[in-house]
Each structure stands twice: as C-alpha cells, then as structure tokens.
Amino acid sequence: MTKRVVTINVNGTEHSVQVNPLDRLIDVLRDELGAKSVKEGCGTGDCGICAILVDGKLVNSCLMLAAQCDGRRVLTLEGLLGDPTMKRVQESFVVNNAAQCGFCTPAMLMASWDLARHSANPTTDEIKVAISGILCRCTGYYQIIDSVHQACGESKR
C-alpha cells in the first residue's frame, strides 16, 4: 500500500501526516499526533469512547480512516482544555463524581460539550440521547447526567 500525505487540522493546528490508506483516525491521533485522550474500547464502533468531533460532528474515531479527514477539522479533548464551556463541564464532572475509572470520560466530555454549546437548558432525555452512543460501565450514567445539567446551568434531575 502506498502512503499518501493528508492534511488534517487537529485542535486548530494543521498537520501534514503520511498515512496508509487503511490507517484508522484513532491511531493517527494517538500515535502520530499525541492525542492520548482518545481511548479505544472496542475498535468496532460499539462503545463510543473514541468519540471526537470532525467538522463539528461527534464521530467514532475507530471507524473513520485518517485519509477521510484530509482537509477536515478534528477536535479532541486536548484542543478544548482552554475552552470555558469545557471547563464548566469538567468542573461539574469532578464535583458530581462523574468520572470513576475515567476511561469513557474524554468521550463523555466531548459529547457533553457538544450538547452544552448547542443547548442552553437540555432536558434529561436530551442529555441521555446526547451521550447514548458512549458506554460507561462504572457510573450507571446518573452522575454524568447530573453533571451535564449542572454545567448547562440547570438544576439537577
């Protein structure tokens, strides 16, 4: 397989990377570009903990090829560490005990941030839908839902 160069904007910075046609986005992000917050839980698109934003849409980075991202904008948790909305979501996760083992946390934060920037006062059902593609085995989701409510400025469920 011949490598080709693709240009991906990751967290605001343009990166030209040499990729094989079958290289997965998750591997390029983690191994080439240092975005270790992106976790792999299954590799088959079922668990959602590799979720990131591509051109503003939440996607599973294990199901996307790096080559598909040529010319696109990719956002991972690393790129949002200075963002005020993300900071609010993170603080809310901390005080609501929403991160237990922490392995799904980056993806949950991405999904929650994506919801928070679009919706000022989401309902519990909207929050459930927003995080429904991401599995968490520790929390039973309740404290994550509480966190999103709080970060979005609404009272708890």
Partner 1 sequence: MSEQVSQLLESLREKAGKGDLLYIGENIVRVDSLEKVLGKPVYTADLIPKGTVYAKLFHSSIPHGVIKHMELGAAKSQPGVLGVLTWRDIPGLNESSAILPDRQLYADSIVRSTADILGAVVAETLPAAADAVGRIKVDYERLPAIFDPLEALKPDAIKLHPKGNIARQMRIRKGNVEEGFAKSDIVFEKTYRTQFQDATPLEPEMGLAIPEDGGMKVIGSMQSPHHTQAAVAKVLKLPPEKVRVIQAVTGGAFGPKSDETPFDVCSTAALAAMKYRRPVFCGLDREESMVMHTKRHPFVITHKTGVTSDGMLVADESKIVGDTGAYASLGVFVIVRATFHTVGAYEVPNVKADSFLVYTDNTYTGSLRGFGGPQAVFAIESQMEELARKLGMDPLEFRLKNMLVPGKRNATNALMDASCGLPQCVEKVVASSDYRRKAPLYGKQRGGLRRGLGIALLMHGNSLGPEGNDYGAVHMEILSDGTVSVGTGLTEYGTGAISGMMQVASSVLGVPLARFKLERPDTSKHRESGPTVASRVVVIGGNASMLAAQKLKAKLVPLAAGMLKAGEDEVSIADGVAFIRKRPSASVKWDDLVAEAYRRGLSLKEDGFFMAPAAPWDTEVGQGTPYVQYTWGALIAEVEVDTETGFYKVLGVHAAYDVGRAVNPGGVLGQSYGGTVQGLGYAMMEELLHKDGQVVNPNLGDYYIPTSMDIPAEFKAFIVEVPGPLGPFGAKIIAEPPIVLPGPAIRNAVLNAVGVSVDDLPVTSEKVLMGASKAARPSR
Binding site for partner 1 (CB under 8 A): 36-37, 39-47, 49, 76-78, 81, 90, 93-97, 99-106, 109, 124, 127-129, 131-145
- Cβ-proximal residues to 113 (8 Å cutoff; 6+ apart), any chain: 80, 83, 85, 86, 89
Nearer Cβ to partner 1, position 18 or 101?
A: 101
**Please, what is the minimum distance in Å from the beta carbon of residue 102 to partner 1?**
3
Q: How many CB atoms lie within 10 A of CB 142?
A: 14
Nearer Cβ to partner 1, position 14 or 46?
A: 46
**Please, what is the minimum distance in Å from the beta carbon of residue 65 to partner 1?**
14
Nearer Cβ to partner 1, position 59 or 127?
A: 127
